[in-house]
Amino acid sequence: MIAPIEATGLGKRYGRKWALRDCSIRVPAGRIAGLVGPNGAGKTTFLHLAAGLLRPSAGEVRMFGRSPREQPKLLLDRVGFVAQDAPLYRDFSVADMLRFGRVLNARWDQRAAEARVRSLKIPFGQRLGHLSGGQRAQVALTVALGKRPELLLLDEPVASLDPLARREFLRALTGAVAEEGLSVLLSSHLVGDLERVCDYLVIIVGGQVQVAGDIETLRSSHRLLVGPRVRADRLLSAVDVVRAQHSERQTSLWIRGPLPVLPSGWREEPLSLEELVITYLATPAAGTLPEPELEVAGL
C-alpha cells in the first residue's frame, strides 16, 4: 500500500538556515499520527511541504506516491489541510465558507458539512470573525473534512483553544476519522493532546526527526531505570542509553531496548509517553531513526 506521506531526505532552507533537514519518515495509512516538537522545530515547515505550500530545498515528500508541488491536480482533492490558527475569511458567513468549500472541491459533501455545523450549534448566518476561537477551529475542520480527504493535515489545531474546546475538537476529529477511515497527521507541542488521539508519533527537534514510530512500540521499547549511582557504570555499558540523569546518590537512565539484568538496588519505573517525548526533546543528540531500526529494536 502506498503511504499517505513519505519523505526522503526532505529539507527546507531559508537563506542559510535550515528549518528542516534530512527528514525521512513514512506515515502509515489509517493512522492518526502526531508530530511533536518544541516551537520552531520544523513542524509547520514539514506540514507546509506536505500540503504543497512550500517547495523543498532538498529531498522530496510524496503524498500517496505523488509530489504535491509537481502534481497538485492529483492531490489537492485528496488532502485536507488546516493551517495554524485556522485561517478563514473573517467577513464570510459560515454558509459562505461552506459554499467556498463546495465550489472549490470536486468531492465536497455538503450534507455532511451542514450536519456538522448544525451539531456544533453554530448559526449558518454568523460571520466567521464573530465566532470564538474554538468555533472557528471547528468550522475550519468542517471545511477540511467536507472535501472528503483521504489524508488530513492539521497544524497545531488545538493550540489556541481552552481545555474544553480542545477536548471537543479532538473528540470531533476522532469521530470523523472513525467514520471516514482517513489518515491524519497533526502537529502539537502538547504531548497530552497527542496521547489522547494519536497512535503514531514523530518527534522533531531543531529541524531533524528524532523518533518516528508506533506509540505502543515506542512505549514498549523504552524504559526508565532508577538505582544507586555507585553501581551505574556496569549497567551503562550494557544498555542503549537515551539519557542519563545523576543526582547525588541516585541515577536515572532512560534506555532503549529490552530490560537488562538489573544490579541490586536498581528498579524499573513506569515511563509515560510525555516523559519519553521530553527525554528525546531534552537530548536531541540521542535521536534514533530511521524508523525501521526502531521497529527492529522494539520487536
Interface residues with another protein (CB under 8 A) are 48, 51-55, 72-73, 76-77, 79-81, 83-85, 87-90, 92, 96, 99-101, 103-107, 140, 143, 147
CB of 103 to another protein, least distance (A): 5
CB of 54 to another protein, least distance (A): 4
Nearer Cβ to another protein (14/178): 14
Cell numbers standing for residue 237: 555499558
Nearer Cβ to another protein (67/84): 84
Nearer Cβ to another protein (129/163): 129
Nearer Cβ to another protein (137/277): 137
User: Is-contact 176 145, C-beta < 8 A?
Assistant: yes
Nearer Cβ to another protein (76/176): 76
CA neighbours within 13 Å on the CB side: how many for 182? 24
CB of 117 to another protein, least distance (A): 17
Query: CA dist 267 to 106, 188, 241, 246, 263, Å?
Result: 58, 32, 15, 15, 9
CB of 144 to another protein, least distance (A): 8
Measured CA to CA, the distance from residue 250 to residue 235 in angstroms comes to: 13
Task: Tell me the three state secondary structure of residue 185.
Answer: strand
**Ramachandran bin of 52, using left for φ above 0, alpha for ψ from -120 to 50, beta for the remaining angles:** left
Nearer Cβ to another protein (69/243): 69
Measured CA to CA, the distance from residue 149 to residue 79 in angstroms comes to: 5
CB of 209 to another protein, least distance (A): 21
Nearer Cβ to another protein (89/245): 89
CB of 124 to another protein, least distance (A): 15
CB of 171 to another protein, least distance (A): 23
Helix/strand/coil percent split, the chain, to 5 = 35, 30, 35
Provide the edge-to-edge strand list for the sheet that holds 79-82: 79-82, 151-154, 183-188, 32-36, 200-205, 208-214
